[in-house]
Amino acid sequence: MQYVQSIIAALFGIQSDSKRREDFQKLSVKHLIALATLMTVALIILIVFVVNIVIG
> Is the pLDDT at 55 greater than 90, yes or no?
yes
Distance CA 10, CA 4 (A): 10
* pLDDT, tens digit (0-9, with 9 covering 90-100), for 17-53: 898 888 888 999 899 999 999 999 999 999 999 999 9
What pLDDT band is residue 56 in, cutting at 50, 70 and 90?
Answer: confident
In 3D space, the residue among 41, 32, 38 whose CA is nearest the CA of residue 7 turns out to be: 32
Write down the pLDDT at residue 2.
86
Cα–Cα separations (whole angstroms), residue 32 to 12, 13, 17: 15, 16, 16
Q: Cβ distance 6 to 19 under 8 Å? A: yes
